[in-house]
Chains A and B, each alone.
Chain A
Amino acid sequence: MNPWPFVIAAYSVAIALTIALLLWSFASMRRAEAAADALRRK
């Protein structure tokens, strides 16, 4: 059994989920902080 497809699949899942977590956290932070700033400026 060729092990490389398994290795590549495992790394792909780990990288994709980590990037998704970071992007979601970043986007929700930027959105919330922008809303708070906009409200303060009013």
Chain B
Amino acid sequence: MHALANPARFLRFARPATGWLLLIGLALAVAGMAAGLALTPPDYLQGETVRILYIHVPSAWLGMAGWAGIAGASVSQLVWRHPLAAIAGRAVAPAGATFAAICLITGSIWGRPTWGTWWEWDGRLTSMLILFFLYLGYIGLASAERERGGEGRIAALYGLVGAINLPIIHYSVLWWRTLHQGESIGITGSSIDNSILWPLPLTMVGFTCLFGAAALMRMRAELAEAKVEARMRRLGA
């Protein structure tokens, strides 16, 4: 992390990494989605709607991972004053918000034929909706702080406090046994049959690479904007 604290060194890593992440991400996400739509059998209970799993699960993971990234960047900024931490937090937020929105929308679309409802104020759904609103708040707060010339400490504190929601989302299906099913995929194994499960790692890795590419592009944009602002200040002085 500290090796990349220098913006020039970071850009030497970020420029080639952006293209590779885009290429690998597109290839894996397209392959995984195609396999999920055409090659896997329908589930004995859910039928064809089980195919939504291949986009819903990666988007849920990325919605949560994005906020974990913001929390990590916040710690890095508040504790070690890492020069790129605030930029990283601001760069991750739009991607995290997008995938949290995809998770909510695809979950709602899956819920209609499966549960018979588009929405239910269930623990998992509600805590995920809160995460989406936290992202919107973070984006607004961080950009307002940046415009006022702040270092982003208030946004960093907000990012840390918001991380409380992550374990709530994770354990919501255990704490409140309402509509959303319990954990079906864990670190040690899965209750889903392998004939259905196998394209999921492709979309998980694929969308994660695309998330990384989007975050790197936003970081590069922020660094270039900062360079322009510094140059304009020097020219004006």
Chain A residues proximal to chain B, CB less than 8 Å = 1, 3-4, 6-7, 9-11, 13-15, 17-18, 20-22, 24-26, 28-29, 31-33, 35-36, 39-40
Contact = CB atoms under 8 A, between A and B. Distances in A.
Pick from A1, A31, A33 the residue with the most CB of B within 10 Å: A33
Given A6-B52, A24-B94, A33-B220, 20 more contacts: A1-B113, A3-B47, A6-B109, A11-B33, A11-B52, A11-B55, A14-B55, A14-B102, A14-B105, A18-B207, A22-B210, A22-B214, A26-B217, A28-B221, A32-B222, A32-B225, A35-B224, A35-B225, A36-B228, A39-B228
B109 A13 contact: yes
Contact of A7 (B37, B207, B231): B37
Contacts of A11: 33, 37, 52, 55
Interface residues of B, number: 38
Given A3-B113, A6-B49, A33 B214 contact: no
A7 B228 contact: no
Interface in B93-131: 94-95, 98, 101-102, 105-106, 109-110, 112-113
Given A7-B37, A7-B49, A11-B55, A29 B217 contact: yes
Interface in B180-237: 207, 210, 213-214, 217-218, 220-222, 224-225, 227-228, 231-232
A24 B214 CA distance: 9
A36 B106 CA distance: 39
A24 B29 CA distance: 19
Contacts of A6: 49, 52, 109-110, 112-113
Contacts of B112: 6
A29 B171 CA distance: 37
Contacts of B231: 36, 39-40
B24 to A, nearest CB: 14
A4 B222 CA distance: 41
Nearest to B207: A18
B224 A21 contact: no
B59 interface: yes
A21 B220 contact: no
B51 A21 contact: no
Contacts of A33: 220-221, 224
Nearest to A20: B98
B134 to A, nearest CB: 18
A26 B56 CA distance: 24
Contact of A36 (B101, B105, B227): B227
